[in-house]
């Protein structure tokens, strides 16, 4: 038990999916559904590591059990009560964490209203050197209808921490309390941390009211830092309008100024570096806060403070003075140098009192060493050597520890010395075989010790030692021993093997790392275990053997697939289904399920399960079904049904009896009280529903009507009854979502709609109290919108927009995202069913219900990228072809432009489509031309920013030109001044700063009609700019230039007689364009297509004009064109003939063409 209060008890528990957590057991009448909803909401979506997460709530009779995060290091109140002068380097990250937690809460529209030291828990994530603050106790949290906007709130909180507007409201009926009440409370905490007192004389209500009425905040002498005092005054501003927000507080000079950065300690920098390296190595649970020195609170410092606080509680203030006076260091010197016979008990006791309390001299010393070793472990990665190894080894400490271990008959001393040696050898081989065998053997013997510390320490130590394959092969050797001899001898062998399995299970549980799993798999352990499971008499196979294999199947999909590839486990596991032990059966079926899931995840979801053939061939599916039918244990029966469902992914279950039994059972599990079982059943049905035969069976009875009936239940009655209704409806909608995502046929969606489920979902979303509309409802509705245009048109007839728009005020970002995604899909349907040149057909409907303004408002306030992106595109889509779009030009359109190269390919494509559909006039294009005219000046970074902005505008123009057909938009672009501005860039800018984006616009314009190309040429001769770029080093770039030049040349001569020279000849040759083209033609590093294009362009320029034979240009160009007459590419063949006919109009060219008997007139 962790604690007991007025409303219930809190226990420390372990749950597989969460690890060590806290379980709060509350009587039904004391259950606060608000606390549960808020805690659960904060565990969803954008993760906030600085609030306590709630995982689940379940009823058991008259009790409710809340599962939540476990914080393992007291509270901020303990730091405050220590009355120690904390360094600013510690205060800063503590307060940064608190403000960051509040910022993320306020963004979700949540006001805590009871921020105080006791509600700010401290937590040290195991194996780290960090301390995290956890904002807890959400019983008084208020939900704002608009996140981070003022609203009235009721009086709540603890008097000394309540803001004036909250406290005085009770006495003076003020009506101004909003999220800034939390900021005031945080300011009080900061005042306490730095001044060791409240800002009023005492925490009585009278003194507090006097302080708030007088509005005078006095600066204590202990606060000498001006930035700190300035921050406190802004946090404790009596008028909430003058008070900072959490975001503003985080940006205050106290946190961001030079002094703040200078005072970051080496320890903090080292910790940040460790987690940066861990992140680079792919460690998943590293957060951005762990790598940011501004948020790191070092464990060592907090431990020191809490230790002093603990000692002060005991009245031993003198002991803490000893630590700071250097007495501990003096004692350490005595231990190193003085003759052992003069080191008596008082010296040892004095030293050890700094960390713990025991009675025996040697045991004191060992436990002190153990505590110091743990500190070393916590500050370094688990895969690295212990940081104290060299120091202790250098003074022969390891041999002395082993000597004590061997000589002592005292169990505590023996245990502790073994643990110390084991910890020292973390991640490295114990070289001395006698030490290795003795220590590891002893550690194994105490893994089930009755003493909690000994038991956990031995398990941790064994997991730290398990770093190399040679140690694992010792386990393999033991597992391969055959059962021979008498019954007693066989039992001894089994006992030893079970011990090895238990040790291995502990190691796998404590160090869930892929590398370790691979070491185990490569060692031969898997084969040895499977051989035992396959060949040994069933009565001699205990749950320890199966649970060890099960632990191996709990790794990542990649590792489990590797496990499967080493040896097919199914024959061994299926055999165990005949076992009598329920634990063996449970681990067996769970192992099969894990292997099936991992295998399924490595292949497309629309394909059959990759293990199906193996299981079908050996008759394993029939055995599994027989086990399902005959088994009376609910847990294993459920797991067997789930396994069969996964095996038949995208394949019909041919046996009607099996199909009916399995699908019927899985449907029942959708309402199971166990969360894992519900989720697994949804997944299994999702696998089955991909096949139409299975789908018909799933929908064969009253399944869809039952969902509809459950959704129609009104949310009324007691809080507990409401919670049960919510839970039931959420289970049904989650299952429906899974099936809709896996079966995307129109037929299935029609059945769902015809059952009335869509109508019920819309009614719930439109009418229910908004906080009680959770993600599963929206996910089901969103899944329906992933459909064909025909189905979406049916959905649109019900006018879903008002319901969906209402959810923009929700405080759960996941709900908002589902609403936006649904709108997003429905809007695309409107686009697909109307002409692109017309206004969006849903514009008026959305405008009438205020949807467009609410979308823009949501865009402006949300910090979530995915939401912001989709909202911007939705608004852009709604304004398709609409002339009056000025309100989008400041925020929406620039944001859509920023998405054209987004990592999310779908968002990128949608943003491009949205930009191409917007209405653009001449003034819009002139603004872009102005952007192109900005000169490159300033620092290198400033120049890079200018170029990037210009590149984005170029890409936007290219997208518009690619996607919009017709000459209207092209004429606007040419007349806007964009062409002149771009040609100036191409003509004058350094090649390094001219990217393909700039030339792409000119290239796209060169694909226009002839009249527009001539307009483009007449506005400003483009050839000097284009010809300059023919010396560029990028061949792809040159190829685009060549095609652009060719398109312009073709337009210039199209209406000219064949006997007339090309009208652009003089302009083209003015900048040595022909010479540069011929230089490219002569290059030997270019492919045939490149050479062909250059020859064709030169021929186009010399239409009806003699090609001079300087450097054999005439001979080589005409000769190359003649070789293209029989080219396999039709365009090349036809074009080369036309160009030869153009050249043939000149007599000199004609003579060159007819050399070697070549007759142009005779060509077919």
Confidence of residue 337 (pLDDT cuts 50, 70, 90): low
Residue 234 has pLDDT above 90, yes or no: yes
The topology (CATH level 3) of 3-69 is: Phosphorylase Kinase; domain 1 (3.30.200)
Q: Is 24 annotated as a binding residue?
A: yes
**CA 799 → CA 736, 802, 803, 821, distances in Å?**
22, 7, 8, 16
pLDDT-based confidence at residue 598 (cuts at 50, 70, 90): confident
Check pLDDT > 70 for residue 141.
no
Q: What is the Cβ-side half-sphere exposure of residue 790, based on CA atoms within 13 angstroms?
A: 6
Model confidence at 26, pLDDT cuts 50, 70, 90, reads confident
Q: What is the pLDDT of residues 726-738, one digit of tens each?
A: 888 888 898 899 8
Residue of 23, 31, 93 lying closest to 56 (CA atoms): 23
Q: What is the pLDDT of residues 962-995, one digit of tens each?
A: 888 777 888 888 888 898 999 999 999 999 899 8
**The pLDDT of residue 1111:** 85
Q: Is the pLDDT of residue 419 over 70?
A: yes
Most confident of 184-193, 397-406, 464-473, 1006-1015: 184-193
Instruction: Return the pLDDT at 385.
Output: 83
pLDDT top residue among 261 and 1039: 1039
Of 45-54, 471-480, 633-642, 919-928, the poorest mean pLDDT is in 45-54
Cα separation, 282 vs 951, in Å, equals 34
pLDDT > 90? residue 653: yes
Give the global pTM: 0.55
Over residues 762-771, mean pLDDT: 92
Mean pLDDT over all residues of the chain?
Answer: 83
Q: Which CATH class is domain 76-277?
A: mainly alpha
Please say whether the beta carbons of 328 and 351 come within 8 A.
Answer: yes
Rama region for 695: left / alpha / beta (φ>0; ψ in -120 to 50; rest): alpha
| Res 193 pLDDT > 90 | yes
Angle formed by the axes of helices 775-785 and 746-754, nearest 10° = 130
Is 719-833 a CATH 1.10.3720.10 domain? no
Ranges of CATH 1.25.10.10 domains, the chain: 719-833
Half-sphere exposure of 354 (CA within 13 A, CB side): 22
Q: Average pLDDT, stretch 836-856?
A: 89
Q: Which of 112-116, 454-458, 929-933 is the most confident on average? A: 929-933
- Cβ atoms of 979 and 973 within 8 Å: the answer is yes
The pLDDT of residue 781 is 94
Residues with Cβ within 8 Å of 562's Cβ and at least 6 positions away in sequence, in order, are: 518, 521
Q: Would you say residue 263 has pLDDT above 70?
A: yes
pLDDT (tens digit per residue) in 504-557: 888 887 777 777 788 888 888 889 999 999 999 999 999 999 999 998 888 777
Contacts of residue 292, Cβ cutoff 8 Å, sequence gap at least 6: 272
Looking at the predicted structure, is the pLDDT value of residue 198 above 90?
yes
- Across residues 362-372, what is the average pLDDT? 57
Which of 304, 227, 383, 344 shows the shortest CA–CA distance to 73? 304
Q: For the residues 153-169, what does the mean pLDDT come to?
A: 71
Q: What is the pLDDT of residue 1114?
A: 93
Per-residue confidence band for 172, with pLDDT thresholds at 50, 70 and 90 = very low
User: Tens digit of pLDDT for each residue in 44-62?
Assistant: 554 678 988 877 777 776 6
Residue tagged 């086990």 (tokens): 627
Contact yes or no for 142/153 (Cβ under 8 A): yes
Q: Give the pLDDT band (50/70/90) at residue 171.
A: very low
Average pLDDT over residues 425-440: 84
Q: Say what the pLDDT of residue 975 is.
A: 86
Q: Are strands 63-69 and 3-5 parallel, antiparallel or unpaired?
A: unpaired
Q: Where in the chain is the domain with CATH 1.10.510.10?
A: 76-277
What residues are paired with 67 via a beta bridge?
A: 23, 56
Most confident by average pLDDT, 12-21, 416-425, 776-785:
776-785
Average pLDDT of span 1030-1042? 89
Place of tokens 């730290």: 464
Helix, strand or coil for residue 320? helix
Sign (positive or negative) of CA dihedral 787, 793, 797, 801: positive
Gyration radius of the chain over CA positions: 38
Greater confidence, 85 or 1011? 85
Where residue 376 falls among pLDDT bands split at 50, 70, 90? low
Across the range 224-243, mean pLDDT stands at: 93
């Amino acid at each position: 038990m962790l604690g007991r209060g007025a409303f219930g008890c809190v226990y420390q528990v372990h749950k597989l999916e969460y690890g060590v957590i806290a379980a709060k057991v509350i009587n039904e009448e004391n259950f606060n559904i608000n606390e549960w909803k808020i805690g659960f909401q904060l565990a969803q979506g954008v993760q906030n590591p600085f609030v306590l997460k709630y995982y689940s709530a379940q009823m058991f009779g008259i009790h409710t059990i809340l599962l939540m995060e476990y914080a393992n290091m007291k509270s901020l109140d303990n730091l405050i009560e220590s009355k120690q002068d904390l360094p600013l380097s510690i205060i800063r990250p503590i307060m940064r964490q608190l403000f960051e937690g509040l910022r993320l809460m306020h963004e979700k529209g949540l006001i805590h209203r009871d921020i105080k030291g006791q509600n700010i828990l401290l937590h040290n994530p195991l194996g780290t050197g960090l301390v995290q603050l956890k904002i807890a106790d959400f019983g008084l949290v208020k939900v704002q209808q608009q996140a981070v906007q003022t609203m009235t709130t009721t009086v709540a909180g603890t008097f000394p921490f309540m803001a004036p507007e909250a406290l005085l409201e009770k006495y003076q009926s003020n009506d101004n309390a909003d999220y800034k009440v939390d900021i005031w409370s945080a300011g009080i905490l900061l005042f306490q941390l730095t001044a060791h007192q409240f800002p009023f004389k005492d925490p009585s209500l009278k003194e507090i009211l006097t302080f708030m009425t007088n509005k005078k905040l006095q600066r204590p002498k202990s606060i000498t830092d001006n930035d700190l005092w300035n921050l406190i005054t802004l946090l404790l501003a009596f008028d909430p309008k003058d008070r900072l927000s959490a975001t503003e507080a985080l940006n205050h000079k106290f946190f961001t100024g030079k002094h703040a950065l200078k005072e970051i300690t080496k320890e903090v920098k080292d910790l940040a570096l460790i987690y940066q390296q861990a992140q680079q190595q792919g460690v998943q649970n590293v957060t951005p806060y762990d790598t940011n020195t501004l948020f790191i609170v070092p464990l060592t410092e907090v431990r020191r403070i809490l230790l002093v606080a603990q000692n002060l509680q005991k009245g031993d203030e003198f002991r803490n003075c000893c630590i700071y006076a250097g007495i501990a260091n003096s004692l350490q010197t005595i231990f190193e140098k003085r003759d052992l016979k003069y080191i008596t008990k008082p010296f040892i006791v004095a030293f050890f009192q700094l960390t713990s309390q025991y009675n025996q001299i040697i045991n004191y010393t060992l436990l002190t060493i153990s505590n110091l070793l743990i500190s070393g472990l916590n500050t370094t990665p688990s895969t690295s050597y212990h940081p104290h190894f060299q120091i202790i080894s250098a003074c022969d400490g390891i041999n002395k520890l082993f000597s004590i271990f061997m000589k002592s008959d005292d169990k505590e001393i023996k245990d502790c010395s073994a643990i110390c040696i084991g910890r020292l050898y973390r991640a490295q081989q114990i070289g001395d075989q006698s030490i290795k065998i003795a220590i590891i053997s002893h550690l194994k013997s105490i893994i089930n010790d009755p003493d909690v510390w000994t038991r956990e320490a031995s398990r941790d130590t064994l997991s730290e030692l398990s770093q190399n394959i040679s140690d694992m092969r010792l386990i393999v050797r033991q597992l391969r021993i055959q059962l021979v001899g008498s019954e007693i001898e066989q039992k001894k062998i089994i006992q030893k093997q079970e011990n090895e399995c238990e040790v291995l299970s502990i190691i796998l549980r404590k160090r869930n790392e892929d590398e370790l799993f691979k070491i185990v798999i490569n060692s031969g352990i898997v084969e040895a275990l499977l051989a035992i499971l396959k060949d040994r008499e069933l009565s001699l196979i205990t749950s320890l053997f199966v649970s060890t294999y099960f632990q191996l199947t709990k790794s990542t999909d990649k590792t489990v697939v590797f496990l499967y590839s080493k040896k097919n486990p199914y024959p061994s596991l299926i055999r165990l289904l005949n076992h009598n032990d329920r634990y063996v059966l449970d681990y067996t079926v769970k192992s099969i399920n894990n292997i099936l899931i991992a295998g399924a995840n490595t292949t497309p979801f629309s394909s059959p399960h990759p293990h199906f053939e193996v299981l079908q061939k050996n008759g394993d599916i029939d055995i599994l079904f027989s086990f399902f039918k005959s088994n009376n244990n609910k847990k294993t029966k459920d797991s067997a049904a789930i396994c069969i469902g996964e095996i038949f992914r995208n394949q019909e279950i041919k046996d009607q009896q099996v199909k009916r039994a399995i699908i019927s059972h899985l449907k029942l599990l959708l309402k199971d009280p166990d969360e894992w079982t519900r989720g697994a059943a949804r997944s299994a049905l999702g696998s089955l529903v991909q096949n139409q035969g299975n789908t018909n069976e799933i929908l064969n009875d009253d399944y869809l009507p039952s969902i509809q009936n459950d959704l129609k239940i009104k949310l009324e009655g007691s809080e507990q009854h409401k919670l049960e209704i919510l839970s039931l409806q959420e289970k049904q909608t989650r299952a429906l979502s899974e099936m809709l995502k896996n079966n995307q046929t129109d037929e299935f969606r029609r059945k769902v709609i015809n059952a009335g489920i869509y109508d019920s979902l819309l009614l719930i979303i439109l009418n229910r109290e908004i906080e009680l509309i959770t993600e599963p409802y929206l996910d089901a509705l969103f899944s329906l919108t992933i459909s064909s245009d025909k189905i979406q048109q049916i959905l649109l007839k019900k006018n879903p927009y008002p319901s969906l728009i209402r959810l923009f005020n929700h405080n759960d970002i996941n709900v908002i995202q589902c609403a936006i995604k649904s709108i997003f899909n429905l809007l695309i349907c409107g686009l697909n069913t109307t002409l692109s040149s017309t206004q969006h057909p849903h514009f008026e409907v959305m405008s009438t219900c205020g949807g467009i303004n609410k979308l823009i408002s949501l865009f402006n306030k949300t910090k979530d990228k995915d939401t912001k992106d989709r909202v911007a595109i939705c608004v852009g889509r709604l304004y398709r072809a609409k002339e009056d779009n000025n309100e989008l030009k400041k925020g929406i359109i620039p944001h859509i432009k920023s998405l054209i190269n987004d990592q999310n390919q779908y968002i990128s494509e949608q943003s491009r489509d949205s930009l191409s559909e917007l209405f653009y006039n001449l003034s819009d294009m002139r603004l872009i031309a102005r952007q192109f005219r900005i000169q490159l000046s300033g620092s290198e970074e400033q120049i890079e920013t200018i170029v990037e902005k210009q590149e984005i505008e170029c890409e936007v123009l290219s997208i518009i030109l690619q996607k919009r057909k017709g000459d209207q938009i092209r004429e606007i672009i040419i007349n806007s001044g964009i062409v002149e501005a771009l040609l100036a860039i191409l003509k004058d800018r350094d090649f390094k700063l001219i990217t393909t984006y700039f030339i792409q616009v000119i290239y796209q314009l060169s694909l226009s009609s002839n009249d527009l190309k001539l307009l483009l040429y007449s506005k400003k001769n483009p050839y000097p700019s284009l010809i300059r770029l023919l010396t560029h080093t990028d061949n792809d770039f040159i190829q685009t230039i060549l095609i652009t030049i060719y398109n312009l040349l073709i337009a210039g001569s199209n209406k000219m007689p064949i006997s007339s020279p090309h009208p652009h000849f003089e302009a083209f040759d003015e900048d040595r364009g022909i010479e540069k083209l011929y230089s490219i033609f002569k290059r030997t590093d270019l492919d045939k297509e490149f050479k062909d294009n250059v020859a064709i362009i030169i021929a186009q320029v010399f239409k009806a004009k003699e090609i001079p034979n300087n450097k054999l240009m005439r001979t080589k160009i005409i000769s190359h064109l003649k070789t293209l007459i029989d080219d396999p590419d039709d365009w090349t063949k036809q074009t080369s003939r036309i160009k030869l006919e153009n050249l043939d109009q000149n007599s000199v060219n004609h003579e060159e063409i007819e050399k070697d008997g070549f007759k142009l007139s005779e060509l077919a």
